[in-house]
Amino acid sequence: MSKGDLNLLEGDSQLSASTLPPSEAAPQAEVTRRGFLKQSGGAASAAALLSLPKASAAATVPVPATGPAQVLGPGAVPATLLVNGKPQKVMIEPRDTLVTVLRDRLGLLGTKLGCDRGGCGACTVWVAGAPSLACMTLALDVAGLAGQPPQAITTVEGLAKGSVLHPLQQAFVDKDALQCGFCTPGMLMSCAALHEQARAAGKLASVGEKEVREAIAGNLCRCGAYPHIIEAALAAAKLPTAPAPGKGGVK
Amino acid sequence: MNAFSLTIPRTIKQALDELTTPKGGPGKLKAGGIDLLDLLKEGIEQPGRLINIRRLDEAPQALHEIGEVKADAIPEGVWRLLPGSNDGSPPPRRDCLRIGSLATLAQVAAHPLLASKVPALTESAADIATPQIRQAATVGGNLLQRPRCWYFRSSEYQCAKKGGSVCFARDGENDFHAIFDNQVCCAVHPSGTAVALTALDAILSISSPQGDKFVRLSSFLVSPTQPGGAIGRENRLEADMMIHAIWIPSPGPGERSLYRKVKQKQSFDWPLADVAISARRKPTGNKELEAVRIILGAVAPVPHRARSAEALLLQSPSLDAERLRKIGQAALTGAIPLSRNGYKLPLVSGLVQQAIAELLS
Amino acid sequence: MSRIEVPVGIVGVGLNSEQREVPDGTPPAWRDNQSLAQVGKSPTRIDGADKVSGRARYTADIVRPGMLHAKVLRSPHPHARVHRVDLSEALKMPGVKAAVVLPHLLGIADDGSARSTLVNRVRYYGQPVAAVAAQTLEQTVDALSKIKVDYDVLPFVVDREEARKPTAPKVFEQAVTARGSAGGGGSKDKLNQQGNIRGPRRSAPRGRDVDKQAAQVTQALLAGPHGVRATYKTQVQTHSALETHGMVAEWDRAKEELTVWASTQGIFSVRDDLAEYLDIPATKVRVITDFCGGGFGAKFGAGNYGVLAALLAKEAGAPVRLVLDRREEHLAVGNRPGSEQNIALAAAADGKLTAIEVKGFGFGGAGAGAGFGGPALSMYDCPAVYVEESDVFTHSGPLAAFRAPGHPQGAFALEQAMDELAERLHVDPLTLRDLNDSHPARREERKRTAASFGWSSRTPTGQGPRLGKLGEIRRGIGLAQGCWYHLVNLESSAEVRIHRDGSVEILTGVQDIGGGVRTPLAQVVAEELQLSIDKIKVTIGDTRLPPGPGSGGSVTTASITPATREAAYAAKQALLKELQAVLSLDQQPELQGGNVVGVKGGKPITPLPFAKACARMRRAEVLGSATRQPDYGATATGKRGNFAAQLGGVQMVEVEVNTFTGVVKVLRVVAAHDCGRPVNPLLVHSQIHGGIIQGISYALFEERRLDPRTGRVLNGNFEQYKIAGALDVPKIDVILLEELRGRSSTDVSGIGEPATVPTAAAVANAVYNAIGVRIRELPITPARVLAALASQRGDAKP
């Protein structure tokens, strides 16, 4: 070790239970909740001292941590998905991905399956307003289960308001931001999420090319429509009175 | 994917209990699930049970949140592993950044406090995969991600890492493989945040049935040839444990860090090599360095510390082209390229030079 | 026959009027686009809303009552004899309704045995063997594992060098032929075949004697005084359309009729294949393609998967959906073959080319991969051109036609060689091309591209500014040009119906693979009938419609728009004739400014708006139909000296090379292209963007990787098979020529292929300009850039 090294201590304890030093008893936390602190020790308790962003704390639904672990499946179990603002009861196997359930059970065929490995973004939908890969999401992970509400799913079908296209959908048509159209639903969901997040932050008009490119970096378009997609996303951002999206909007 | 049951524990303890319960065979923890689903879909992993820690009722904050903890509130386990003073006395307590293991890469990438204190980490998180993946993937999961070696990832190759007898890549298509420590398994560690966090001297707190454990990331990640290492795994996490949080000593004045990654293409690609550097300047005001860590990624089974380069860099604050070249060269000390990855030598050398120039000049 | 006047020339450069002899009833020629109301304008896609709303239904979206799911069993071996395929256990599995063995293998070179027997040999990893249909996809997967196949595993070869050795395991025991497809691939010729090498096929520009050209080339290369010679290599690229190949097949037992929904570029090619392989009349097969998620050449014919789907549907008596997964897509449904080309150029002191010689090999796996000589044979004015190319078979997935088959490969070699020659001659690369290419469109494209791009600011190679903190970033610019051909498929018919309510319908069995053909069809008819395009309904994608062309070889709009215009013209004549009778006009009225005008009793009638005029019809509708006629005058395509038959483009590219890491980024592209008369410039721009972006991806990223020791594909996914994404796409400026040729009633040519031909070569030339060392192998990876820079430093050592 060189003299000026950043003080790396050699020989950390082994991770086996016998040799690792037990952690210090939990210091008194400013905020204490539930009984878990005693179980989890210092690491968790320290979290109570963090300066926490308020939004996420508020988003938690408090459920007493008293019941046993739920075991679902391996067969199909009844669950509720909240898709485009509508609760949908559906039987789901633990191994079912969200894209399968949306397409095969709920008949929402706008969401496409391109690679089934998260490599192309064709299956992009919003989960609680964030662009997510429906092929890499277990449907039960976003479903309503005992004690836990479903997360809001928005698919391309939920982007338009009735027959009125979302401004981005219209811009995609106007700028010819598509060719074969297979990537388009996923591409739209990524672009629209960028827009809605920018809108929520009051920054829609200043959405720039770099942000658009980054927002769609996980969406593959084999036809190469990118230049027009970028144009469309920028043009839609500049619209004076872009209305808010349809059901299941973005946080 | 094979059929499996999904267990939804309410508490961490339940999650750990589920991991060790004999009923239904061994379970796998699932957080963001990105890497796990990949492995399941390829049939590399076929667990009978998944234990979903994404929706614990208990302690969502402790597991998800990011913030700074004052020196007097850090757990002793973290304190013991903090960087020591140069005179050999016990390490002083100091403020630490704490990241819940279930924080997503997107949250890490966008976190203003982290961006200002440990830019190497936010840069590494922001450069991983795609926006959609960063939205789901957790930082804990990223540290535990299995290698991307295409032989390992194909169920058709029973490679040494999967219990077979051969490393197919060693004499096969090894463009994207290790140039260091590549004699047993030449798959590289895939985690970009691991590179940054190693440079930042991060400490993991780990939940286990016996209570919390603490370990430096640099000793947590082990190559098959290192003490405690085994070819079938990339770290020392036991079957009944989970990463709870990541602790990073808050950088003091004069400390800075950076992460840079070389990708063949700029949209969704794995690094050909990446580097994270953390450095502390002497308080004297000239540009002399007191400490530096240069950690290389995608070149070895675990993040690789370029000690010779560090030593050379500490010798003098001068960064003329010739010295930089020598430091870049020193970063290759010990490298033994394979048949198809010799290009990584100039690439790593060049990357290290660029990164140093950017961080320090 | 009658004669019409047609405008000929490049709009903006100069138009001449020429005479053409045309069949009677041919509509008069349109003048330039500026004079037209609908054609040459850029209305948005008429099916755009379907695509952005998620309403557009692709093959994988088809759901039929009682539909089963199917999956294909593929060979895990690159080479094996198949003794027995036992389906009995699979058939007993839960949910399984049918299982079949593939009767004959399509898509590979034909050794005469493939069509007559059940598959008895596998020649590539991933080759389809059998398939199962069951109620769920999971059941299908489980059942596949129960199929027993006795393989007698044989030695194989996938390495390009090894395959050429006389001792290499042979892919084919007998001489083979190979079907071409959509303007590329294959050769029916009986060629010499030794081991895995088939050929060479010798060629010279059309109309010239091959032997004489070969001799002349040899002589010129010896004479010099200026010459270059080098070997260029290109990789295997997979089509990777975002929608995988797939089919939903439904068998009507009572009628013995098959209906399929297919993701295809050619619904009639699917129909004909299925009729042949199921041995039923073509009238009993209906193929429907509402939307197709990209094809790029790989989606012609029924394919093995399609035959399997149809057989399963027939056996199960239930609809079957068989959609390939992403991995299968990389293994077994086509690719752009690799190439190795040795190219030599010679020029006189004045820079005029005296010889072009290309000799090399194409690597199309178990198919015939040669065919890269196109650019060398047709792009430059050169008195001596000779091409010698051979297929090299390997035990890997066979090629399929891929956007401008052979041409990106050929241009990669030829256009770099031209730059090398320019350097040897101390002339600017642009000047050298001006000296050797008199094609008026290329000349104009070079001129406009250079002006827009700022070509004159090009710094000498390796002397550009050094950017980055350490001077490690270098920039360079490069150009390349490419060619393709005005190709036409005469099996293109359309029907236009004008209804009494004034609505208009186009019916033609063409299909949209992304180019957006519905919209130009509507524009053409709207132009003829003086309507707006929203009045026109376009129905395509069904073999029950009049036959349309397959969408490949850039033939679609060139083939179908003239037939459609002529059908509209015929319908219009029928309408006007009807109106003459109904309104008792002195003579047949005319359509002017959207109104029917005529004369009755010597006096003009009040002009009747189109809809009102239609309302006067005694019949519910009038219709016109037409079939694509041969081009006015000669139909020769690609013939040197016949400029009107060549399409092409010129692209200029700026790149940035990081000499420390070897990473190349394309910063901007200016591309000028011609496609005859552009019907919808917006849609043409989209296709040019696509061609360029695929070209960049081909130049820098894409490569199918095989494991030489197992013959397996290692990167059958979108993670390790690297395709350009949004952050890899440069700013692209498109310059579109309107080049009128007077060849058909719309005078349209294609754009899909030519847009991708020059890109990789232009990128390579720009990389050379940046770093001063030439990279002759694709893709231009950091590894290759760093190796090239290392060799450059080595050369510089004393």
Tell me which of A86-95, B52-61, B159-168, B256-265 is least confident. Answer: B52-61
* Element (DSSP H or E) covering residue A188: helix A184-200
* pLDDT band with cut points at 50, 70 and 90 for residue C115: low
Which residues on adjacent β-strands are paired with residue C121?
A: C81
Q: Is B115 on the interface with A (CB under 8 A)?
A: no
Query: Mean pLDDT throughout C714-727?
Result: 97
Q: Pick the closest to residue C399 from C242, C171, C186 (CA basis).
A: C186
Q: Pick the closest to residue B271 from B308, B304, B296, B295 (CA basis).
A: B296
Q: What is the rounded radius of gyration, in angstroms, for the C-alpha atoms of chain B?
A: 20
> What's residue A9's pLDDT?
28
**For chain C, the helix, strand and coil percentages under 3-state DSSP, each to the nearest 5:** 30, 30, 45
- Integer CA distances (angstroms), A146 to A29, A143, C239, in order: 31, 10, 46
Mean of pLDDT over chain C: 94
Neighbours of C317 (CB within 10 A): 13
CA distance B285 to B290: 11
> What's residue A138's pLDDT?
97
**For chain A, the helix, strand and coil percentages under 3-state DSSP, each to the nearest 5:** 35, 15, 55
For C213-250, how does the pLDDT look when each residue is reduced to its tens digit (9 = 90+)? 999 999 999 987 889 999 999 999 999 999 999 999 99
Tokens (6 digits) for B224: 């098959």
Residues C338 and C238: beta-carbon distance below 8 Å: no
* pLDDT band with cut points at 50, 70 and 90 for residue A232: very high
Angle at B244 between CA B242 and CA B250, to 5 degrees: 140
> What's residue A249's pLDDT?
42
Name the residue facing B80 among A7, A21, A40 (closest C-beta).
Answer: A21
For residue C19, the distance in angstroms to the closest alpha carbon of chain A comes to 37
CA distance C124 to C116: 19
Tokens (6 digits) for C109: 């070179």
Q: Which residue has the tokens 């090239």?
A: C788
E-strand spans in B64-218? 66-69, 96-100, 203-208, 211-216
Q: Which residue has the tokens 């009677």?
A: C24
For residue C614, the distance in angstroms to the closest alpha carbon of chain B comes to 54
Tokens (6 digits) for A166: 């979302």
3-state secondary structure of C564: helix
In the β-sheet with C608-609, what is the strand arrangement from edge to edge?
C590-592, C595-597, C608-609
The CATH classification number of C62-154+242-294+299-332 equals: 3.90.1170.50
Q: Which domains does chain B have, with CATH numbers?
A: 5-57 (3.30.43), 60-145+188-249 (3.30.465.10), 255-360 (3.30.390.50)
Residue C287 has pLDDT above 80, yes or no: yes
Name the residue facing A223 among C44, C514, C732 (closest C-beta).
Answer: C514
Neighbours of A187 (CB within 10 A): 32
3-state secondary structure of C578: helix
CATH number 3.30.420.40 is the correct assignment for the domain at C438-487+638-796 = no
CA distance A131 to B136: 9
> What's residue B86's pLDDT?
62
Those chains having 3 or more beta-carbon pairs within 8 angstroms of chain A are B, C
Pairing, β C226-234 against β C338-347: antiparallel
CA distance C245 to C292: 9
Q: Pick the closest to residue C440 from C671, C742, C648 (CA basis).
A: C648
Query: Mean pLDDT throughout C473-497?
Result: 96
Q: How many beta-carbon pairs below 8 A join chains A and B?
A: 284
Which residues on adjacent β-strands are paired with residue C137?
A: none
Out of 3.30.450, 1.10.20, 3.30.365, 3.40.720, select the CATH number for domain C167-229+342-411: 3.30.365
Q: What is the ipTM metric for this complex?
A: 0.96
Pairing, β C68-74 against β C320-323: parallel
For residue B265, the distance in angstroms to the closest alpha carbon of chain A comes to 11
Which residues on adjacent β-strands are paired with residue C10?
A: C14, C739
Tokens (6 digits) for B96: 């630490």
> What's residue A47's pLDDT?
34
CB within 8 Å: B41 and A116: yes
Q: Is A87 on the interface with C (CB under 8 A)?
A: no
For residue A102, the distance in angstroms to the closest alpha carbon of chain B comes to 18
Q: Distance of alpha carbon B236 from its chain centroid, rounded?
A: 13
Q: Is C633 exposed, middle or buried (0-12, 13-18, 19+ CB in 10 A)?
A: middle
For A174-217, how does the pLDDT look when each residue is reduced to its tens digit (9 = 90+)? 999 999 999 999 999 999 999 999 999 999 999 999 999 999 99
> What's residue B51's pLDDT?
95
CATH top class, domain C489-627: alpha beta
- Residue C22 — φ and ψ, nearest 5°? -135, 160
3-state secondary structure of B37: helix
Residues B46 and B40: beta-carbon distance below 8 Å: yes
CA distance B51 to B41: 17
Residues of chain A with C-beta less than 8 angstroms from the C-beta of C719 = 117, 119
> What's residue A24's pLDDT?
31
Q: Is B2 on the interface with C (CB under 8 A)?
A: no
**For chain B, the helix, strand and coil percentages under 3-state DSSP, each to the nearest 5:** 30, 20, 45
CA distance A178 to C51: 8
For A122-149, how does the pLDDT look when each residue is reduced to its tens digit (9 = 90+)? 999 999 999 999 999 999 999 998 778 9
What residue type is B283 in one-letter code?
P
Which residues on adjacent β-strands are paired with residue C148?
A: C86
**B86-125: burial string, b at 16+ Cβ within 10 Å, e else:** eeeeebeebbbbbbbbbbbbbbbbebeebbebbbbbbbbb
CA distance C609 to C596: 6
3-state secondary structure of C493: strand
What residue type is B17 in one-letter code?
D
CA distance B284 to C668: 46
CA distance C85 to C119: 10
CB within 8 Å: A219 and C683: no
Pairing, β C536-539 against β C14-22: unpaired
**Cα-Cα-Cα-Cα dihedral sign, residues C611, C616, C619, C620:** positive
CB within 8 Å: A184 and C52: yes
3-state secondary structure of C708: coil
**C764-790: burial string, b at 16+ Cβ within 10 Å, e else:** bbbbbbbbbbbbbbbbbbbbbbbbbbe
Closest residue in B to C723 (Cα–Cα): B265
Q: Which residue has the tokens 């004739």?
A: C577
What angle do helix axes C681-700 and A226-237 make, rounded to 10 degrees?
120
Q: Which domains does chain A have, with CATH numbers?
A: 77-158 (3.10.20.30), 167-237 (1.10.150.120)
> What's residue C766's pLDDT?
98
Mean of pLDDT over chain B: 94
Residues C204 and C214: beta-carbon distance below 8 Å: yes
What residue type is C615 in one-letter code?
A
**C654-672: burial string, b at 16+ Cβ within 10 Å, e else:** bbbbbbbbbbbbbeebbbb
Q: How many beta-carbon pairs below 8 A join chains B and C?
A: 100
Residue B72 has pLDDT above 60, yes or no: yes
CA distance C488 to C540: 19
Residues of chain B with C-beta less than 8 angstroms from the C-beta of A136 = 33-34, 37-38, 133, 136
CA distance B181 to B225: 8
CB within 8 Å: A72 and B5: yes
Closest residue in A to C691 (Cα–Cα): A224
CA distance A100 to A102: 6
Residues C246 and C59: beta-carbon distance below 8 Å: yes
CB within 8 Å: C786 and B269: no
CB within 8 Å: C723 and A185: no
Query: Mean pLDDT throughout C125-130?
Result: 97
What residue type is C246 in one-letter code?
G
Which residues on adjacent β-strands are paired with residue C586?
A: none
Residue A2 has pLDDT above 90, yes or no: no
Residue A26 has pLDDT above 60, yes or no: no
**What are the structural domain ranges in chain C?**
62-154+242-294+299-332, 167-229+342-411, 438-487+638-796, 489-627
Residues C529 and C610: beta-carbon distance below 8 Å: yes
Q: Is A9 on the interface with B (CB under 8 A)?
A: yes
Which is more confident, A158 or B62? A158
Using the 8-state DSSP alphabet, how is residue C27 labeled?
Answer: P
For residue C156, the distance in angstroms to the closest alpha carbon of chain B comes to 16
Same CATH fold, C489-627 and C62-154+242-294+299-332?
A: no
For B166-221, how does the pLDDT look when each residue is reduced to its tens digit (9 = 90+)? 999 999 999 999 999 999 999 999 999 999 999 999 999 999 999 999 999 999 99
pTM recorded for the entire structure: 0.94
